[in-house]
């Protein structure tokens, strides 16, 4: 406070009246020396500016002094508050001193109590020494027991070593069995009929593996319990226990590897289940084809009913021939002889036609067994029905001719010899009628068997069509139940197939001739050849469509988070690149560098991407590109080049 007058001393102020008069005098001198009015005005302005600067300095000095005064007042207030705090602290110290005096008195009383307790403790110490001597004797006994248990540990270690070698052998056996199972699965994919027993065997082996794993897990748990008990009882055998723990960890790793193998087997079993579902769908389509064929077979049955009607008419003709009088003219005898020969020729032709019909029926059966698509069964059945219709028309024409000949025979008379020959013809006609009747009965039985097979296929298709939610939630027991059901249905199909085959074999043995058997064999070979060629050439001319996908996600250089708007722009920019001419030209150059000549045209790339490229957006910012095609190797190469080009362009664009 005493320095304030000194700061405002007029000696340090440059704008004092004395100093201010000096510029005035200088201005007067300049005005006398320089008569120019402009120069005088400039000097006046300079003087005014100097005065303003001095005033600003004075103002700043005053403000600084006011701030110092304010700071001093605050310091005075702080000193006053500090004095109050010191006074309160002094009172607190006095109270603390009083409390310490009281505590000192308490400590003296406690010291006296401690002296009393020390005497009591000495007595307890003597008692504890006696107890320790007793415990030392107990420890000696336990040491003897520990030595015995150490020997047991050595023997247990030898057993663990033997089990380890057994586990190694089992692992090698598991590897061989897994390779064998892989080969079996590959074979099962080529034949659905072979897939089911292999799946059953794989399921059985999987259950055996799981049972072995459960046993090993129980053994490991028992070993763990033994090790825990030994660790708690024998502190001196920690090294031995550590080695056992390592062995246990090795066994646990082996168990984990076995569990992973079982998991892979479960995955393969699920894949096989999907194949079985596809097979069930194919069987459903086959049942539909059999339903369509059943209608056609019913038409064939109607045709055979018409053949039965013709048989009845033949019997009527036979009775009419037997009722012909014995007397006849020689010319009529010649006519009867001609008619008889014509009847014999007609019968032989009908025999040949019936044999050919039987061969065609057998060929249709083989087509049903070997056809992979329901359309082939339908076409084969249509051809067989058309042939049956044509043959029925031929038989009707022959029946009409036979009726006309019988009418002519009624108008004439025959001799006893001719009557005998006519009787022979009647016997042949009777035999022919019997054979036609047996064929009709066989077709009727076959129609009933096909109907039963169709019902069986319907029930199987219904059983093999589970709900989507049930398929996703199947566990091990449900898979086993499905496999058992499929196996049972397969056995039923095999039984029905064997019954059909046995019936057809009997029919072939009864009615087939050398020529018809040859035709059937050639037809079967032709169908088998077509099926084999179709199986081999399907992948070549009609390859299955496959897909390959890659997922990319946005990342900044400093791993900083991106806003949703930035992520959306990033996804949109990448999706638009596949229709950008610049990107397609760059991709075409990359394809040329990789020697992919079929992918160097930008229009080809644009068309292919429009038809076979799928872009999926993820809320987290990831972008999944899925490319479809028929050539797996080429598809992966194109996807690789496309992805690297897209990432390079994205990095270049983001700087």
pLDDT in tens, 549-605: 888 888 776 667 778 888 888 888 888 888 888 888 998 898 888 888 888 888 888
Tell me what percent of the residues of the chain surpass a pLDDT of 90. 0
pTM above 0.85, yes or no: no
Q: What is the CA radius of gyration of the chain?
A: 56
Quick one: 368 exposed, middle or buried, by C-beta within 10 A (0-12, 13-18, 19+)? Answer: buried
Paired residues of 629 in beta bridges: 546
According to DSSP, residue 372 is labeled S
**What mean pLDDT do residues 366-384 have?**
46
Q: Which is more confidently placed, 306 or 62?
A: 62
Q: What is the 3-state secondary structure (H, E, C) of 293-361?
A: HHHHHHHHHHHHHHHHHHHHHHHHHHHHHHCCCCCCCHHHHHHHHHHHHHHHHHHHHHHHHHHHHHHHH
pLDDT tens digits for range 472-481: 444 556 556 6
Q: Which is more confidently placed, 99 or 654?
A: 99
| Residue-level pLDDT at 162 | 75
CB 432 within 8 A of CB 350: yes
CB 328 within 8 A of CB 412: yes
Give dist(CA 95, CA 482) in Å, integer: 90
Encode 480-492: b = buried (16+ Cβ within 10 Å), e = exposed: bebbeebeebbee
| Residue-level pLDDT at 655 | 55
For residue 512, pLDDT over 60 is answered with no
Least confident of 39-43, 57-61, 67-71, 294-298: 294-298
| Residue-level pLDDT at 294 | 55
The pLDDT-based confidence of 30 (bands split at 50, 70, 90) is very low
Q: Is residue 550 classed as helix, strand or coil in its secondary structure? A: strand
**What mean pLDDT do residues 73-94 have?**
84
Paired residues of 550 in beta bridges: 625
Count of CB atoms within 10 A of residue 398's CB? 19
| Residue-level pLDDT at 217 | 66
The pLDDT-based confidence of 95 (bands split at 50, 70, 90) is confident
Name, of 151-155, 318-322, 487-491, 535-539, the range with top average pLDDT: 151-155
Give residue limits of the domains in the chain.
Answer: 4-187, 290-541, 546-654
| Residue-level pLDDT at 327 | 40
Give dist(CA 537, CA 147) in Å, integer: 76
pLDDT tens digits for range 383-422: 554 555 565 566 556 656 655 655 555 454 444 444 444 4
Q: Which is more confidently placed, 209 or 19?
A: 209
pLDDT tens digits for range 220-245: 666 667 666 665 665 655 566 566 66
CB 356 within 8 A of CB 518: no
Distances from the Cα of 521 to the Cα of 202, 217, 360, 524, 531, angstroms: 37, 59, 11, 5, 15
Q: What is the number of alpha carbons within 13 Å of residue 590 lying toward its C-beta?
A: 19
| Residue-level pLDDT at 31 | 41
Strand segments (E) across 170-215: none
Tell me what percent of the residues of the chain surpass a pLDDT of 70. 43
Average pLDDT, the chain: 68
For residue 618, pLDDT over 50 is answered with yes
For residue 468, pLDDT over 50 is answered with no
| Residue-level pLDDT at 87 | 84
| Residue-level pLDDT at 4 | 41
The pLDDT-based confidence of 19 (bands split at 50, 70, 90) is very low
**What mean pLDDT do residues 342-351 have?**
59
According to DSSP, residue 545 is labeled P
Q: Which is more confidently placed, 226 or 460?
A: 226
| Residue-level pLDDT at 244 | 63
Least confident of 30-44, 105-119, 394-408: 394-408
pLDDT tens digits for range 268-303: 766 766 766 665 666 566 556 555 655 555 555 555
H helix or E strand, kind and range, residue 629? strand 623-629
| Residue-level pLDDT at 15 | 41
Q: Which is more confidently placed, 175 or 188?
A: 175
| Residue-level pLDDT at 413 | 43
The pLDDT-based confidence of 180 (bands split at 50, 70, 90) is confident
Q: Is residue 615 classed as helix, strand or coil in its secondary structure? A: strand
**What mean pLDDT do residues 188-208 have?**
62
| Residue-level pLDDT at 555 | 76
Chain centroid, CA 655 distance in Å: 38
Give dist(CA 201, CA 269) in Å, integer: 11
Arch. (CATH architecture) of 546-654? 2-Layer Sandwich (3.30)
The pLDDT-based confidence of 469 (bands split at 50, 70, 90) is very low
């Amino acid at each position: 406070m005493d320095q304030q007058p000194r700061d405002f001393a007029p000696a340090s102020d440059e704008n004092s009246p004395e100093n201010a008069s000096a510029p005035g005098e200088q201005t007067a001198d300049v005005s006398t020396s320089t008569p120019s009015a402009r120069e005088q005005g400039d000097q006046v302005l300079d003087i005014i500016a100097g005065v303003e600067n001095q005033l600003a300095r004075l103002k700043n000095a005053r403000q600084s002094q006011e701030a110092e005064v304010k700071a001093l007042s605050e310091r005075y207030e702080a000193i006053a508050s500090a004095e109050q705090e010191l006074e309160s602290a002094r009172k607190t110290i006095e109270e603390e001193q009083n409390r310490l005096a009281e505590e000192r008195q308490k400590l003296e009383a406690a010291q006296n109590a401690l002296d009393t307790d020390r005497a009591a403790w000495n007595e307890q110490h003597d008692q504890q020494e006696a107890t320790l001597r007793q415990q030392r004797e107990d420890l000696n006994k336990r040491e003897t027991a520990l030595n015995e248990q150490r020997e047991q540990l050595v023997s247990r270690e030898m057993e663990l070593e033997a089990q380890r070698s057994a586990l190694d052998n089992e692992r090698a056996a598991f590897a061989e069995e897994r390779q064998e199972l892989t080969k079996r699965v590959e074979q099962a994919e080529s034949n659905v009929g072979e897939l089911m027993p292999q799946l059953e065997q794989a399921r059985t082996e999987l259950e055996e593996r799981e049972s072995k794993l459960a046993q090993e897990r129980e053994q490991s748990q028992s070993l763990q319990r033994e090790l825990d008990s030994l660790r708690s009882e024998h502190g001196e055998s920690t090294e031995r226990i550590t080695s056992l723990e390592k062995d246990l960890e090795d066994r646990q790793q082996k168990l984990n590897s076995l569990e992973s193998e079982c998991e892979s087997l479960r995955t393969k079993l699920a894949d096989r289940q999907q194949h079985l579902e596809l097979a069930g769908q194919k069987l459903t389509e086959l049942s539909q084809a059999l339903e369509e064929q059943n209608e056609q077979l019913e038409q064939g049955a109607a045709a055979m009913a018409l053949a039965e009607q013709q048989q009845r008419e033949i019997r009527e003709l036979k009775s009419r021939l037997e009722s012909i009088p014995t007397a006849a003219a020689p010319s009529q005898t010649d006519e009867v002889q001609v008619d008889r020969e014509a009847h014999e020729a007609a019968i032989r032709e009908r025999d040949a036609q019936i044999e050919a019909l039987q061969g065609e029926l057998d060929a249709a059966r083989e087509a049903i067994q070997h056809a992979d698509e329901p359309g082939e069964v339908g076409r084969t059945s249509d051809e067989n029905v058309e042939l049956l219709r044509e043959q029925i028309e031929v038989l009707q024409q022959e029946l009409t001719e036979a009726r006309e000949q019988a009418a002519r025979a009624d108008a004439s008379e025959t001799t006893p010899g001719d009557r005998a020959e006519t009787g022979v013809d009647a016997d042949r006609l009777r035999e022919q009628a019997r054979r036609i009747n047996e064929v009709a009965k066989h077709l009727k039985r076959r129609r009933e068997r096909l109907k039963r097979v169709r019902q069986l296929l319907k029930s199987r298709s219904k059983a093999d069509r589970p709900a989507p939610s049930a398929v996703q939630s199947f566990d091990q027991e449900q898979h086993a139940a499905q496999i058992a059901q499929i196996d049972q249905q397969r056995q039923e199909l095999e039984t029905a197939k064997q019954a059909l085959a046995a019936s057809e074999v009997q029919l072939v043995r009864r009615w087939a001739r050398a020529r018809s058997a040859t035709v059937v064999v050639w037809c079967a070979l032709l169908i088998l050849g077509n099926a084999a060629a179709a199986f081999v050439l399907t992948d070549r001319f009609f390859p299955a469509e496959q897909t390959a996908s890659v997922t990319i996600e946005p990342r900044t250089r400093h791993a900083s988070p991106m806003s949703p708007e930035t992520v959306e722009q990033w996804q949109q920019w990448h999706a638009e690149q596949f229709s950008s001419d610049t990107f397609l030209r760059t991709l075409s150059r990359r394809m040329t560098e990789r020697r992919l000549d079929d992918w160097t045209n930008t229009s080809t790339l644009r068309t292919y991407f429009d038809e076979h490229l799928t872009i999926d957006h993820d809320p987290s910012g990831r972008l999944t590109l899925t490319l479809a095609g028929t050539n797996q190797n080429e598809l992966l190469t194109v996807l690789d080049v496309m992805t690297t080009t897209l990432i390079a362009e994205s990095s270049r664009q983001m700087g």
